[in-house]
């Protein structure tokens, strides 16, 4: 799930898949084939670019290759490791619903999968982005603690601060990097589910890579439709656990006091 899916009044061309009374979601042969083609393209790109913790987490999830995984299968693994669950939602949900689910240790997952037409890039999150990108790190208690604290902060926040909180999510959960013994590696779901950005985020000399500081991240603009111009790099996942113990709303207030950084990208063209 990413914050591009929460714009007011925005409509999706995709329709959510609704689970039946047993929790099963029916996917067509073509939809399962798209999942297969997406995951088999992405997995060979992970070595040397993804955090070792993320790769280990992906192994724990043991995702099927030939079909879209079912919600109940994902929850069985997450329950075993951290007690988190994934929760099926439409593509577009409001901030308050999003924060409420996270505070309850439920990660919202859009249930549709992209078409061939959108195979290489989809602005809104689909089930591949959600499941492949997001669920593996939910097996890590440090990551889970941060997401839960983030959801609780969002519920307590003034609505005017939702956009600022979105930046913290964006530069960690969606587009975060981390230091490892082998060098800088990726863990953010927006990177992990994109073959192009996975290479760019770790290997390109174009973007800025800044040591992670939550107030700095809260002050940093981003665009959802381009490779990121700025990435924040964790020392380790322990930083996220430490962040979960902080008063996130005080950090937001400090960021608001200091003001936004200037964008490092051109404005988005409107058709």
Pairing mode, if any, of strands 230-234 and 106-110? unpaired
In 3D space, the residue among 163, 128, 147, 143 whose CA is nearest the CA of residue 54 turns out to be 143
Instruction: Tell me if 23 sits within 8 A of 71, measured CB to CB.
Output: yes
3 state SS of 150: helix
Instruction: Tell me if 115 sits within 8 A of 28, measured CB to CB.
Output: no
Residue 261 assigned to a binding site: no
Q: What are 184's strand-pairing partners?
A: 179
| Token reading at 196 | 């192009």
What DSSP letter does each residue of 157-196 carry, written as one string?
Answer: S-GGGHHHHHHHHIIIIIT-EEEETTEEEE--HHHHT-HH
Residue 134 assigned to a binding site: yes
Element (H, E) at 148: helix 141-156
Residue 21 assigned to a binding site: no
Altogether, the residues listed in the chain come to a count of 271
| Token reading at 156 | 């307590």
Q: How far apart are CA 220 and CA 147, in angstroms?
A: 20
Known binding-site positions: 129, 134, 174
Known binding-site positions for Fe cation: 129, 134, 174
């Amino acid at each position: 799930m990413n914050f591009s899916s929460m714009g007011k009044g925005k409509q999706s061309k995709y329709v959510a898949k609704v689970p039946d009374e047993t929790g099963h979601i029916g996917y067509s042969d073509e939809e399962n084939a798209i999942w297969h083609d997406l995951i088999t393209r992405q997995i060979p790109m992970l070595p040397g670019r993804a955090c070792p913790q993320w790769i280990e987490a992906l192994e724990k999830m043991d995702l099927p290759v030939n079909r879209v995984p079912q919600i109940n299968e994902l929850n069985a693994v997450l329950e075993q490791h951290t007690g988190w669950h994934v929760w099926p939602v439409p593509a577009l949900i409001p901030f308050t619903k999003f924060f409420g689910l996270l505070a309850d240790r439920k990660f919202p997952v859009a249930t549709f999968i992209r078409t061939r037409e959108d195979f290489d890039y989809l602005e809104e999150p689909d089930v591949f982005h959600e499941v492949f990108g997001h669920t593996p790190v939910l097996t890590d208690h440090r990551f889970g603690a941060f997401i839960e604290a983030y959801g609780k902060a969002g519920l307590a926040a003034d609505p005017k601060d939702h956009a600022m909180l979105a930046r913290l999510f964006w530069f960690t959960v969606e587009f975060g990097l981390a230091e490892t013994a082998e060098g800088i590696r990726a863990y953010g779901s927006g990177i992990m589910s994109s073959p192009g950005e996975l290479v760019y985020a770790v290997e390109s000399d174009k973007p800025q890579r800044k040591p992670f500081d939550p107030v700095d991240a809260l002050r940093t603009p981003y665009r959802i439709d381009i490779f990121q111009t700025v990435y924040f790099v964790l020392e380790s996942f322990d930083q996220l656990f430490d962040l979960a113990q902080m008063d996130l709303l005080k950090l937001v207030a400090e960021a608001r006091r200091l003001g936004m950084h200037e964008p490092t990208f051109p404005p988005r063209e409107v058709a």
